[in-house]
Structure formats: structure tokens, C-alpha cells
Amino acid sequence: MTTRIFNNEPSPVSSINKMMIVRLVAIVLAVVIGIVLVLSIVHATRIGAGFVGVEINLAGSTRGAQEIPVRTGWVFYSPLKTQIIEFPTFVQTVKWTADVHEGHPLNEELVFNSKEGQEVRSDVSLSYAIDAAKVPEFYVKYRTDDLERFTHGILKDIVRNSLNEVASTYSLEDIYGENKAKFLRESRDRIQAQLAPVGVQIQQFGFIGKPRFTAAIEQAITQKTQAITEAERARNQLAVTQAEMAKAVAQAEGEARSEVERARGVASSAIERAKGEAEANRLRQASITPQLLEWKRLENQRALIDRWNGELPRTVLDGKSGILMPLPTDQRRLNRRVRETAPAAFLFRSAPFLRGQCARPRTSKPGAIPGTS
């Protein structure tokens, strides 16, 4: 018979292995727990371009704005102790209008009263940006990081109140008329004065379209505008008429001056012509000499002889009765003799002058026939 004895005590090798495994598991668990604790205690975030972050303490202690740090870029923080809030620093634009298709789908027009107490409704556009250096002041005052709620809540109330305060010193005519720019400028300055301490800078402010009034006011404004238009048309028509009259007067004056100048020119021309003729006559008179007169006389006599056909008159005029009477026969013979001898007598008398002699040729006795002694 055989007897088998079993030993129940563990071997030293297996005990060591179990202890190593337990230690390894404990280390892994510790590392995991450490990582979890680290991740829950320290967070990392990145502040993008156009934004700025402020680190808010969650412990509940009250701190001033100067104690709130401003963060940019990569930021490490403990979510158990602090919180990072981002604010955009680029320009924000808002439009408060009655049009449900622009902005929010509801009537957001602003209503204020003029100096007369008349109601004014207007669509307003505003653009603003937050100064990055003053974001802590903005957060401390308004305790919000929701710019949408700030824009359509706090900012809208500030704008409405500023419009009412400024409009109480302006009449309706000033608000929609030539002083509208001044009214908007003063309203913008009042809004900026309230927002400047928290770093909100107004970039643009103004009406969208024209302000709206009650029906009665609108009708009165329309009638006044028509009256102004008619008056302006009348003034323009008057100016046109005056211009046409001035043109006609100027044209008439020009024509009159032209006629005067033309008459002066004609008179001057006549005077100059008369002066010329007088000068010509003077020169002619100065050039007339006895020799020239004698030469002209001879030329005329020569012309008469050249034109004579050689026939002598056969009648004579009676000096007493004025009756033409026939010449006697003896007188006809004498006339024939004169006709035959006249050219020779002419040449004989002209010869001394033609030879250059200055003495006047001797004339025959009165009543004598040329060429006879």
C-alpha cells in the first residue's frame, strides 16, 4: 500500500508574482486618477483673433476690475477655481426697425417725443466696439458676456433715453429738417458719454430713412413741403423772367450801342471822305496854273474842231425879235472861207504855246473871226 502526502503551502515564486501584479495595477490606477485629477483641475483654451478673455474667480470673492486679468492666446486655468469669458472686440452692428424682415422678426422701432410733445417713430442703426483694455470694467458693471442681450436690452434703453432727452429740446421741424444732423450728433454724444467708462465706442449712429409722425403731422408736413416747392418754383420762374428781361435789355442796349458805333463809323467815314475830297480839291487848286488852263482850253477847242463836220449854220437868231433868220449869201461865202482857213488859224495860234513859250498868244479884236486880222 502506498501513501501520498500533499503540501498546501504556496510556493515563494507565485507569491512574488502576485505582489508585483497588485503593485502594477495600483500604479496604473494612481496614474489614471492623477491624470483625471489634473484634467479636472487644469484646463487649456485658446483666445482667437478679434476676441479677448477675462479670468473670473469662482470662489465668490468680490474683486475690482483692476484685479481681473485680461487673457489672449493660449490660457491655462483651473475650472474648479476660475472661468475664462471671451468678449469680441470687433465692430458690432444693430438695426432697430419696424420691418420684421430686418433684424429680429418683430417691431423694434424707437419712439421718442419732440419739444411739442409730438410722437416720433424712427428706425435706427448703431455700430459699436468694445475696447479690449476696458473689458473688465464692462464685465464688472453689466455682469454679462452675452452681447446680444446687452445690445437689445441695456444699449437699446440707453439709446431710447438719449433720444428722448435730446428731442425734448428740438421741434418736429428741426428733427426732420435741416437740423436733423445736429440732433443726431448730440444724441450720439450723449450715448457715448454713458458708454465711454466701460470701453464701448460708438462707431456709427443714425436714422434709417426718415422719421415717422402721426397722420395729421405727416399731412401738414406734406402740405408745407408742397407750398415750399411751389414757392421755389415761383422764385425760379421769376428768376428766369428776370434773366430773360435782363437779356432783352442787354441785347437792346447792345444793338443801340452797335447803331451808335455804326453811325459814328459812317460819320467818321464821311468826315474822312470829305477831308479827302477837300485835300484833293486843295491839291487840284494848288496844281492849277495859267499854262494848265490854256492847255485845257486848247484841248477843248481841239475836241470841238475834231467833232465839227465842216457845215456852218445857215440861220441866225435875231437879237431883238428872237426869230431864226437865214444868213445872207455874202455871209455864207464868208463862212465857207472861215471853214477853209479855221484849222490853219488854230494851228497858228497854238504854235507858240506848244513850243514852250509862256507868253499868252495875242487875241484878235472883239468880234473878229479866228485866223483873220
- Asked if 136 and 27 sit in the same domain, the reply is no
- Asked if 262 and 304 sit in the same domain, the reply is no
- Please determine, for residue 350, whether its predicted confidence score (pLDDT) is greater than 50: no
- Please determine, for residue 62, whether its predicted confidence score (pLDDT) is greater than 50: yes
- Please determine, for residue 336, whether its predicted confidence score (pLDDT) is greater than 80: no
DSSP at 65: G
CA distance 339 to 348: 15
DSSP at 314: S
What's the domain count of the chain? Answer: 4
By residue range, what is the domain housing residue 228? 214-287
- Asked if 266 and 319 sit in the same domain, the reply is no
Within-domain flag for 365: no
Of the residues 36, 57, 87, the one at which a domain ends? 87
Cβ burial 266-284 (10 Å sphere, 16+ → b, else e): eeeeeeeeeeeeeeeeeee
Q: Helix, strand, or coil here: 74? A: strand
Q: If pLDDT is split at 50, 70 and 90, which confidence band does 317 have?
A: low
- Please determine, for residue 360, whether its predicted confidence score (pLDDT) is greater than 50: no
- Asked if 151 and 253 sit in the same domain, the reply is no
Within-domain flag for 369: no
Of the residues 87, 108, 142, the one at which a domain ends? 87
132-136, 324-328, 330-334, 342-346: least confidently modelled range: 342-346
In order of 120, 170, 184, the CA distances from 115 in angstroms are 11, 5, 15
Q: Identify the CATH number of the domain in which residue 176 sits.
A: 3.30.479.30
- Asked if 168 and 96 sit in the same domain, the reply is yes
Q: Helix, strand, or coil here: 77? A: strand
- Please determine, for residue 203, whether its predicted confidence score (pLDDT) is greater than 70: yes
Within-domain flag for 220: yes
**How confident is the model at residue 319, as a pLDDT?**
63
What percentage of the chain has pLDDT greater than the value 70?
Answer: 73
- Asked if 154 and 205 sit in the same domain, the reply is yes
Within-domain flag for 140: yes
Name the pTM for this structure.
Answer: 0.53
- Asked if 231 and 318 sit in the same domain, the reply is no
What is the torsional sign of CA 79, 63, 150, 210? Answer: negative
**How confident is the model at residue 37, as a pLDDT?**
63
pLDDT tens sequence across 75-122: 777 677 778 888 999 999 999 999 988 878 889 999 999 998 899 999
Q: Helix, strand, or coil here: 361? A: coil
Within-domain flag for 372: no
